[in-house]
Chain A
Amino acid sequence: MSAMKTIQRLRTGYAALVSLYPKPYRDRFGESIAQTFTGLLRERAGAKRGVVIFAMWIYFETSLGIAKENLSYLAERSGPFARVAMFTALLLFLPLIAMQFTDEVNWALGDFLVAGVLLFSAGGAFAFVTRKARHSAYRYATGIAVFSGLALIWMNLAVGIIGNEENLANVMYAGVLAVAGIGSLVARFRPIGMYRALVATAVAQLLVSGIAFIAGWGAAILIDGVFAGLWICSARLFKQAGDSEALEHQEMA
């Protein structure tokens, strides 16, 4: 087969590949990309160098570019909740892949469902609360609070914080989450109100340890201390965001 015929065939295949780019990208660069490909192959053929393996390398390289551009395009076009859904799906791939290589990870369908619901809810809560956030402190504060809530539920479901997952004392942690959730709703997610709600959550977390210890159910003082620290850290950041907002209002007045 002549070199020109080979190039023609490779070019047809490449044009089909380029058509997989997102439309706006394809409209802008599609022709230039195809021209560049043909130019490179012609140059190599002119220099009496092989074109097929080189073309395969470009096919592979372009395929990576297509995957990247499609992901960016999807992320740009989709709303925050669709992005959370994509991120959740990506995270769930990790245990799925790990299961192929080790017996240490053994998730049933129910585990994937629970993990999916928890991750999507946490991500969705973060996206919802921070949708109008103007300060990075507010976003960090929300991130820490959402992460703490997620970790609290996850640990309780997996192994239980007090004793094991069957110890009924762990039900008290639902109260901690209720304080955070109801407090946030009452505060209508305003920074100063969130500050108060999360300080109350930290107190509730420590109370759980105190009650469990006094009642002799066993306590997890260290773990509760770490969670209380996270709630306080989040509260401090909300306070910082609130102070910045107050300062802005003063300057505008």
Chain B
Amino acid sequence: MKRVKADTQGKVKMGPGTLYGLIGRMIESGLVQESDKRIDLEMDDERRVYYRITGLGQTALAAELQRYREVVAISREIRLSPCFA
């Protein structure tokens, strides 16, 4: 949540209700799964649950990024935005 807020310069604020809703849907779709890996066994709270992206998740992410790239390329091509002029 802190990372999302920082990466979007505070434009996107996410609470636990949204975050776990998204995690639940991504697990159901097979995009992420629970991971056994622990970042730091000494410091870590054993109740903490980690998630990792699956192969399907990586494919979906790559496809989505490609879609964004294509949208930007088209908007550049047709000079849709003044900043591309």
Whether the pair B18, A69 counts as a contact (CB closer than 8 A) is: no
Q: How large is the interface on A (under 10, 10 to 19, 20 to 34, 35 or more residues)?
A: 20 to 34
Which residue from chain B places its CB closest to the CB of A18 in the assembled complex?
Answer: B16
Q: Is B19 interfacial (CB-CB < 8 Å)?
A: yes
Name the residue of chain A whose CB is nearest to the CB of B25.
A72
Cβ B49 vs Cβ A32 within 8 A: yes
Q: Residues of B contacting A33 with CB < 8 Å?
A: 16-17, 20
Docked pose: A40 CA to B17 CA in angstroms:
13
Inter-chain contacts of B23 with A (CB < 8 A): 29
Q: Judge whether B19 and A62 touch: CB under 8 Å.
A: no
CB distance from A69 to the nearest CB of B (A): 6
B15 within 8 A of A: yes
CA distance A25 to B27 in the complex (A): 12
Task: Kindly list chain B residues whose C-beta atoms are within 8 Å of the C-beta of A154.
Answer: none
What is the CB-to-nearest-CB distance from A130 to chain B, in angstroms, rounded to a whole number?
A: 24
Asked if A66 contacts B49 (CB within 8 A), the reply is no
Q: Are B24 and A29 in contact (CB under 8 A)?
A: yes
Residues from chain B with a CB closer than 8 A to the CB of A36 are: 1, 16, 19-20
CB–CB B15/A61 < 8 A: yes
Closest to A17 in B: B17
Contact call A65/B49, Cβ cutoff below 8 A: no
Considering the complex of A and B, which 7 residue pairs feature the smallest CB-CB distances, nearest first?
Answer: A65-B17, A61-B15, A62-B17, A29-B20, A33-B16, A36-B16, A58-B15
| Interchain residue pairs with CB less than 8 A apart (23) | A25-B24, A28-B24, A29-B24, A31-B47, A32-B20, A32-B47, A32-B49, A33-B16, A33-B17, A35-B47, A35-B48, A36-B16, A36-B19, A37-B16, A40-B16, A58-B15, A62-B15, A62-B17, A65-B18, A65-B20, A66-B17, A68-B21, A69-B24
Interface residues of B (CB under 8 A from A): 1, 15-21, 23-24, 45, 47-49
Known: A40-B1, A62-B17, A65-B18. 12 other contacts (CB 8 A): A31-B47, A33-B20, A35-B48, A36-B16, A36-B19, A58-B15, A58-B16, A61-B15, A64-B17, A66-B17, A68-B21, A69-B21
